[in-house]
Amino acid sequence: MAKILLTGATGFVGRNLLQGMVQNGDQVIAPVRRNLENDEIFAAEKVRRVEGAFFDSEVLKECQMFHPEVIVHSAAIRGEGKGNWEDYRQVNVEGTQRLVEFALQNKVQLFIYLSSVGVFGTIPREVPAKVSTPVFPDGFYHRSKWEGEQIVAQNLTGKIPYLILRPTIIYGKGDNGFLPRLIGMVRKRIFPLSRKPIQIHLVNIRFLVDLVVHFIREVEVRSGVWIVADRSPVRLDQLVNLIHRHYHGTPYPFWLRLPSLVFRTGESIFHLLGMGGLEISLKLISHSWYYDVQPLQQLDLVPLTETLSGVQTLLKELEQ
């Protein structure tokens, strides 16, 4: 049992982490920005809520009284187009700095920072991207996560063990991001599928939660950076066909498969118009992006998920 300070507990990732920690018997203090008295998970005996931003000085004072042994930092403004650079900087960069200072002052035993494979860029410069692949953070979100990583490493090295986890796009029940949008568009037959073979690499939320909980249980943890993804990438057309067969019983219509030129043109137009979010969305479905998870496999901590089986399970859960 550990005493954990968890940030971002109301988000998709943070909420799943909170549930995993409670099931593991850990005690959790969770700064939240809204009243959650009627939320069952936050009413659990081992969960203590603190209302306010995780980086607020008064909130941190209350957290200090909890004497946390571990900090799991998942809070962030996620994705592109959620504000200007100052908004991302205040939460994702300056907020991380204050949390790192709190960790040093209170001599916590472990600091886990949830970053993103986006530090390599929306589309990494090499595939599979490795931890050693040069970073190229494009956009406010990716840039802010890279700056957060640097803050963690520069301040905690040699003082407090830390883990920087770089998950790829996360999927699971309760998510409202990439995969749910893909499912909705495929179901309605409005998803533009590239004729070019595209490989993408996702990660199941259950695997991510199990991995974090396992790291917390470890008696000795070595500082390091880890790419977190499913066992292997999946071809986008296979994923689309799986979803379409689930709802319609047939493969995805051929007439909805478009040439690469359509996507390149769209990217250029969105770039010129300053529509970064839509530009990134087009890149994600028309370029291959996948990562080297062999180092994580060699740790042999938690079995990695097969994406197609994970998505198949999710589709069934969504109908319950």
Of 32-46, 155-169, 211-225, 267-281, which gets the smallest average pLDDT? 32-46
Q: Are 115 and 164 in contact (CB under 8 A)?
A: yes
User: How much is the average pLDDT of 2-30?
Assistant: 95
Q: What is the mean pLDDT of residues 24-47?
A: 81
DSSP-assigned states of every residue in 257-316: EE-HHHHHHHHHHHHHTT-HHHHHHHHHHHS-B-B--HHHHHHTSSPPPPHHHHHHHHHH
Q: What is the pLDDT of residue 43?
A: 75
Domain with 297, as residue range(s), is 3-175+201-232+289-306
Residue 269 in domain: no
Higher local confidence (pLDDT), 39 or 251: 251
Using alpha carbons, select from 135, 273, 271, 292 the residue that is nearest to residue 201.
292
Angle between helices 95-106 and 139-156 in degrees, nearest 10: 20
Domain presence at residue 218: yes
Q: Which residue has the tokens 């589709």?
A: 315
Question: Is 136 within a domain?
Answer: yes
The answer to whether residue 129 scores a pLDDT higher than 90 is yes
Q: What is the pLDDT confidence band of residue 320, given thresholds at 50, 70 and 90?
A: confident
pLDDT on residue 232? 97
Q: Give the model's confidence band at 183: pLDDT under 50 very low, under 70 low, under 90 confident, else very high.
A: very high
Beta-carbon-side half-sphere exposure of residue 107 (alpha carbons within 13 Å): 0
Reported as a pLDDT band with limits 50, 70 and 90, residue 301 is confident
CA–CA dist 109, 177 (Å, integer): 33
Q: How many domains does the chain have?
A: 1
SS3 57: helix
For residues 199-217, give the mean pLDDT: 96
CATH of the domain at 132: 3.40.50.720
For residue 35, the model assigns a pLDDT of 63
Q: What does the mean pLDDT of the chain come to? A: 93
pLDDT digits (tens, 9 = 90+) for 253-282: 999 999 999 999 999 999 899 887 788 889
Q: Is residue 76 assigned to a domain?
A: yes
115 domain residue, yes or no = yes
What span, in angstroms and rounded, lies between the C-alpha atoms of 234 and 259?
20
DSSP 107-166: T-SEEEEE--GGGG-SS-SSSSB-TTSPP---HHHHHHHHHHHHHHHHHHTTTS-EEEEE
281 found inside a domain? no
320 within a domain of the structure (yes/no)? no
Cα torsion at 203, 207, 209, 212 (round to 10°)?
A: -100
pLDDT above 70 (res 38) = no
Q: Cα–Cα distance between 145 and 92 in angstroms, integer? A: 7
